[in-house]
C-alpha cells in the first residue's frame, strides 16, 4: 500500500517544477554571482529574479530581502543582529514561551551573555495576547519576536495587533513566519513587522535556504561576517540553486495558495471531526478557528505519542508527536506544557500536518486505522480504566 505523509510541518517534498528551476545552476550556470564575467552575471540574474519574486510575494522592497541558509539562520540573525546593532538603546528582548527552538535557543544564549529576555505565555489555546506583550516591554526593549503560527499546534497569532503596540513603544518587531509563508497570506506592510523569517523547505522548496526580510531603516548587524555579499549584510557565496528554487516555490504558492487553503481546511476539519467522533478522551491542542489550514494536533489520553507514531509508521503512515523519546529528548513539548496541558497529555500527543499532495482517501484511511491503533495501545496501558464487565 502507498505510504501516507502527514508531516508537512516538518518538511515538504520539493515540487517537481522547483527542482527543474534549480537544475541549470548545478550545471552550465554554475557561476559565482560576485564575478563580473558572463558566468557570474547569469547567476546574479537568477538570484535577483528570485529576490523579486520573494519581495513581491511579501509586499516588500528588493533591498529588504536577505537570503540565508535556513529559517534557523534567519531567526538567529534577527535576534543577534538587532540586539548587537542597537546596544545603545537597550538590552531587552521580549518573546514567547511557544517559539521554535531556532528562537528559544538563541534567546537563552543571549541571556547567558547578559541580555534580558522576557518570555510571554500564551493562553490555553496557544494565543499570545497583545496586551501581555505590551506589559512585558520596558524602555530597554529593543526587539519583540513572536512567531506568526506555531509549528506544533498551528495557532495563528494576532501579529498585526502585537506589532502595532510594539511600534508604538518604539521597539522592532520580528516574526518567525516559517510555518505561514506559502500557506496563508503574509504581507509585511499589512502585518506591520520590521523583520520576518521564512524557509524554503516548508513550502515545497529545497532544504538549506531561507531568507530574512528586514524593513528599510532597521538597524541590524551582520550575523555571518566575511565577504561583502547581500549588500554587506550576510557574507558567504550565495546558494544560487537553492535561491532559484526558493523563488520558484514561492511563485507556485502564490498561484495555488487560495485553492490549497480551501482543500486543506476541509480535510483538516474532516480529520478533527472524525477523530473526535471515533475516539473517546481526545483533546484538540491549539485554537479551534485561528489555526493553520493544514494542522491537526490531539492529545490522546492513556497512551504515548511515541507508540502511536511507531504503530502508524508500521502501517505506512508518517505523523509527528510532541514527545520525541527516540531523538533523545524525553522532555514533553514546551508548547503543550505552555498551554497548560498536564505532562501525561503532553506525552500522548499526535500531530498530523497536511499539504499539496494530501488526498481525501489518505484521510479516510487514517480515520479507519487510527481508532484501532489507539484501542490496541490502550488495551496494553496500565492506566486505561478497565471496564466494569471486565473486572473479575
Ligand atoms: C522549521 C522551522 C524553523 C527552522 O527552519 P529551518 O530552515 O529548518 O532551519 C524555524 N521556525 C519554525 C516555526 C519552523 O517551523
> Taking Cα atoms as reference points, which of 214, 210, 213, 212 lies closest to residue 243?
210
Q: Confirm or reject: Cβ of 71 under 6 Å from ligand 1.
A: yes
Indicate whether 312 and 220 sit together in one domain.
no
Nearest CA, atom 14, ligand 1: 178
In this structure, what are the phi and psi dihedrals at residue 199, rounded to the nearest 5 degrees? -140, 130
Q: How many helices (H) and strands (E) does the chain have?
A: 13, 12
Nearest CA, atom 2, ligand 1: 178
> Which atom from ligand 1 is nearest to the alpha carbon of 70?
7
Indicate whether 299 and 236 sit together in one domain.
no
Grid cell, residue 163, equals: 506589532
**What burial class does residue 26 get, using C-beta atoms within 10 Å of its C-beta: 0-12 exposed, 13-18 middle, 19+ buried?**
exposed
- The residue assigned the cell 480529520 is 271
Mean pLDDT of 241-267: 98
**What burial class does residue 315 get, using C-beta atoms within 10 Å of its C-beta: 0-12 exposed, 13-18 middle, 19+ buried?**
middle
Grid cell, residue 104, equals: 528559544
Question: What was the pLDDT predicted at 391?
Answer: 46
In this structure, what are the phi and psi dihedrals at residue 241, rounded to the nearest 5 degrees? -60, -40
Grid cell, residue 251, equals: 511563485
15 CA to middle of ligand 1, Å?
19
Grid cell, residue 369, equals: 486505522
Confidence grade of residue 323 (pLDDT, cut at 50, 70, 90): low
Distance in Å from the first CA to the final CA of the chain: 41
Mean pLDDT of 131-157: 98
Nearest CA, atom 6, ligand 1: 71
Grid cell, residue 351, equals: 500531530
Q: Confirm or reject: Cβ of 147 under 6 Å from ligand 1.
A: yes
Question: What was the pLDDT predicted at 388?
Answer: 45
Write down the catalytic residue from 211, 253, 325, 346: 325
Mean pLDDT of 246-269: 98
Q: What is the CATH number of the domain that holds 102?
A: 3.40.640.10
Output the average pLDDT for the chain: 95
Indicate whether 229 and 118 sit together in one domain.
yes
Question: What was the pLDDT predicted at 330?
Answer: 66
Question: What was the pLDDT predicted at 327?
Answer: 52
Q: Confirm or reject: Cβ of 70 under 6 Å from ligand 1.
A: yes
Rounded to 5°, the CA angle 184-287-203 comes to 25
Domain boundary pick from 200, 227, 252: 252
Measured from the Cβ of residue 89, the count of other Cβ atoms closer than 10 Å reads 18
Indicate whether 223 and 296 sit together in one domain.
no
Question: What was the pLDDT predicted at 328?
Answer: 56
Residue 83 has pLDDT above 60, yes or no: yes
Which residues neighbour 259 within 8 Å (Cβ) at sequence distance 6 or greater? none
Indicate whether 237 and 309 sit together in one domain.
no
What's the length of the chain?
Answer: 392
DSSP, residue by residue, 112-149: HTT-EEEEE---TTSPPPHHHHHHH--TTEEEEE--SB
Question: What was the pLDDT predicted at 346?
Answer: 87
Indicate whether 280 and 247 sit together in one domain.
no
Domain boundary pick from 252, 272, 296: 252
> Does 17 count as an annotated binding residue?
no
3-state secondary structure of 108: helix
**What burial class does residue 265 get, using C-beta atoms within 10 Å of its C-beta: 0-12 exposed, 13-18 middle, 19+ buried?**
middle
> Does 343 count as an annotated binding residue?
no
Q: What is the CA radius of gyration of the chain?
A: 22
Q: What is the CATH number of the domain that holds 324?
A: 3.90.1150.10
Grid cell, residue 331, equals: 522532555
> Which atom from ligand 1 is nearest to the alpha carbon of 73?
9
> Taking Cα atoms as reference points, which of 200, 192, 182, 190 lies closest to residue 144?
192
> Does 200 count as an annotated binding residue?
yes
Indicate whether 101 and 210 sit together in one domain.
yes
> Taking Cα atoms as reference points, which of 198, 243, 227 lies closest to residue 44?
243
Residue 232 has pLDDT above 70, yes or no: yes
Mean pLDDT of 13-41: 98
Pairing between β-strand 141-145 and β-strand 92-96 as defined by DSSP bridges: parallel
Domain boundary pick from 252, 268, 288: 252
392 belongs to a structural domain: no
125 CA to middle of ligand 1, Å?
21
Burial 365-374 (b: 16+ CB within 10 A, else e): bbbebbbebb
Distance, C-alpha 240 to centroid of its chain = 23
Q: Can 253 be counted among the known catalytic residues?
A: no
**Mutual angle of helices 305-314 and 360-380, in 10-degree steps:** 130
**Residue 72 belongs to domain spanning:** 16-252
> Does 199 count as an annotated binding residue?
yes
Least confident of 58-62, 192-196, 222-226, 318-322: 318-322
> Which atom from ligand 1 is nearest to the alpha carbon of 99?
13
Q: Confirm or reject: Cβ of 69 under 6 Å from ligand 1.
A: no
Residue 227 CA to residue 32 CA, distance in Å, equals: 13
| Residue 32 backbone zone (phi > 0: left; psi -120 to 50: alpha; other: beta) | beta
Q: How many domains does the chain have?
A: 2
89 CA to middle of ligand 1, Å?
29
Indicate whether 36 and 69 sit together in one domain.
yes
> Does 119 count as an annotated binding residue?
no
382 CA to middle of ligand 1, Å?
37
Amino acid at each position: 500500500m502507498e505510504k501516507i505523509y502527514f508531516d508537512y510541518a516538518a518538511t515538504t517534498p520539493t515540487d517537481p517544477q522547483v527542482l527543474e528551476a534549480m537544475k541549470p545552476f548545478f550545471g552550465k550556470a554554475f557561476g559565482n554571482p560576485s564575478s563580473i564575467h558572463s558566468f557570474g552575471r547569469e547567476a546574479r540574474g537568477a538570484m535577483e529574479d528570485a529576490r523579486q519574486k520573494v519581495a513581491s510575494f511579501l509586499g516588500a522592497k528588493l533591498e529588504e530581502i536577505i537570503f540565508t541558509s535556513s529559517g534557523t539562520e534567519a531567526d538567529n540573525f534577527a535576534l543577534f543582529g538587532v540586539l548587537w546593532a542597537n546596544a545603545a538603546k537597550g538590552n531587552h528582548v521580549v518573546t514567547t514561551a511557544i517559539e521554535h527552538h531556532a528562537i528559544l535557543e538563541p534567546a537563552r544564549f543571549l541571556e547567558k551573555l547578559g541580555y534580558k529576555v522576557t518570555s510571554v505565555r500564551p493562553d490555553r489555546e496557544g494565543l499570545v495576547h497583545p496586551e501581555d506583550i505590551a506589559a512585558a516591554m520596558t524602555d530597554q526593549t529593543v526587539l519583540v519576536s513572536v512567531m506568526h503560527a506555531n509549528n506544533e499546534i498551528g495557532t495563528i497569532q494576532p501579529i498585526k495587533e502585537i506589532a502595532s503596540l510594539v511600534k508604538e513603544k518604539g521597539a522592532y518587531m520580528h516574526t518567525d513566519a516559517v510555518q505561514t509563508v506559502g500557506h496563508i497570506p503574509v504581507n509585511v506592510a499589512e502585518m506591520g513587522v520590521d523583520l520576518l523569517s521564512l524557509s524554503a523547505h516548508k513550502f515545497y522548496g529545497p532544504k538549506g535556504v531561507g531568507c530574512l526580510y528586514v524593513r528599510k531603516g532597521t538597524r541590524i548587524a551582520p550575523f555571518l561576517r566575511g565577504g561583502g555579499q547581500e549588500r554587506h549584510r550576510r557574507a558567504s557565496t550565495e546558494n544560487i540553486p537553492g535561491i532559484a528554487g526558493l523563488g520558484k516555490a514561492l511563485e507556485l504558492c502564490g498561484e495555488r495558495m487560495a485553492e490549497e487553503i480551501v482543500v486543506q481546511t476541509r480535510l483538516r476539519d474532516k480529520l478533527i471531526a472524525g477523530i473526535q467522533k471515533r475516539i473517546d478522551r481526545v483533546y484538540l491542542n491549539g485554537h479551534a478557528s485561528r489555526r493553520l489550514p493544514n494542522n491537526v494536533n490531539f492529545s490522546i489520553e492513556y497512551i504515548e505519542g511515541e507508540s502511536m507514531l511507531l504503530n502508524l509508521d508500521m502501517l505506512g503512515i508518517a505523523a509527528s508527536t510532541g514527545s520525541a523519546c527516540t531523538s533523545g529528548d524525553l522532555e514533553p513539548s514546551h508548547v503543550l506544557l505552555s498551554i497548560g496541558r498536564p505532562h501525561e497529555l503532553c506525552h500522548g500527543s499526535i500531530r498530523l500536518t497536511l499539504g499539496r499532495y494530501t488526498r481525501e482517501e489518505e484521510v479516510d484511511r487514517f480515520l479507519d486505522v487510527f481508532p484501532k491503533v489507539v484501542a490496541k495501545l490502550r488495551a496494553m496501558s496500565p492506566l486505561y480504566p478497565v471496564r466494569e464487565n471486565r473486572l473479575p
